[in-house]
Every structure is written in C-alpha cells, then in structure tokens.
Amino acid sequence: MTGTAEFELYNYLRSLRENLVDIPEDEREDIIREINAHVRDRAQEPNHSVTEILRRLGSAEDLAAQYRREALIRKATGSISPVVILKATLQLATRGLEGLAIFLGAIFGYGAGIGFLITAILKPFFPRETGLWVGPGVFDFGIHTPARYGDSVHEVLGWSYIPVALVLGLIFLVVTTMLIRKWLRSRWQRGVKINSIAHAAA
C-alpha cells in the first residue's frame, strides 16, 4: 500500500480502537487485527482502494458501535443480571418492533418480580395495608388502604403473604431472565453478530 493508504488505515484503526474502550483489551485488539488484515488483503485485489474498502465498512464509530452491541448481547446471553439483560434488550428495542416488545416484556417481568419482593419486605411494617385482597370483582396484590374496599373484600393471606410474595417475586425474576436469555441467544444465531467483515465490505 502507498504511504497515503497506510496513513488512512492507521487513522481508521486508531479511531476504531478509541471507540472500543469499553470492550476488554484482548478482544479489542483481536478486532483491530481482524480489520487490519481484512483491509490489507482486500487492498491487494485489483480495483480495490483502501478508501473504498473503509467506506464500505462504514465509519469507525459506527463499526465500533456494532461490535459493542455484539459484545453486550453476547454477555447478556450468559448473565443473570437484570441490568445487563435490560441494557441488551434496550439496544435491540431501537432496532425493531420485536426488540421493543421483548424490552417491554422484560420491564414488566422484572418490575413484577421486584414489586412482589418489595411488598414481602414491607409486610411486617405495614401488616394491615399489605396483602392479597379478594372479593366480588377484586383480586389484588400489593399495598392498599383497607378503607378503599367495602366489607365484602378481605385480605386473605395474612402473614402467609410474605412467603407467597417472595416465591412469586423469584419466579418472575427467574422466568423473565430465562426467557430473555433464550430469545437473545436465538436473536444472536439469526445474525445480530458481525459474522462476516468480508461480506460487509464486499
């Protein structure tokens, strides 16, 4: 390659590296080596300039964003952290209705699970206001003012509400995590990952 092409590639790789700071160093350097090798190999072919190859790859910022998204989704497929999983689904929520639906489902599942756990913790402090109210047209978990309901509605669990709410909270958290991880793995296999740099720049 000419000196100008070398300088252009150097600047591109430097910018790419700077935009991959939140990816582990060994993985970041693997990406840099992969892009460097790809560009150099393509540049040896007839009618392929470094400028054109880099244009087809896209800006260093956009390419780095794809790699960061790939890394986050890969991390989420093996994580039990709601924060990591929500970050991954939020990334995909911006890329289509399916991703948005899964993100909203994750918000609901984790919200319900955390809500049950919080009410279980609050039951000893607000025993008359926390529980399961049942009556005509009423089946209501949570914290309420007893006067809100008439005499036909009663709190039915008493202190049993604590283990019931704890179990329900854990079920919501575990099931939500398992379903979202399964969907993320499926989404990964369907092509979220950057599986062919050569194809992207062909």
Q: What is the amino acid identity at position 8?
A: E
- For 107-141, write each residue's pLDDT tens digit: 999 999 999 999 999 999 988 889 888 888 788 88
Domain ranges of the chain: 80-192
DSSP 3-65: HHHHHHHHHHHHHHHHTTTTS-HHHHHHHHHHHHHHHHHHHTSTT--HHHHHHHH--HHHHHH
* pLDDT tens per residue, range 27-43: 899 999 999 998 998 88
pLDDT of residue 69: 85
Q: Are 123 and 130 in contact (CB under 8 A)?
A: yes
Tell me how far the alpha carbon of residue 187 is from its chain's centroid: 12
C-alpha angle 82-87-93 in degrees, rounded to nearest 5: 120
- Which residues 6+ apart lie within 8 Å of 184 measured at CB? 73, 76, 77, 85, 88, 89
| Residue 132, beta-bridge partner list | 141
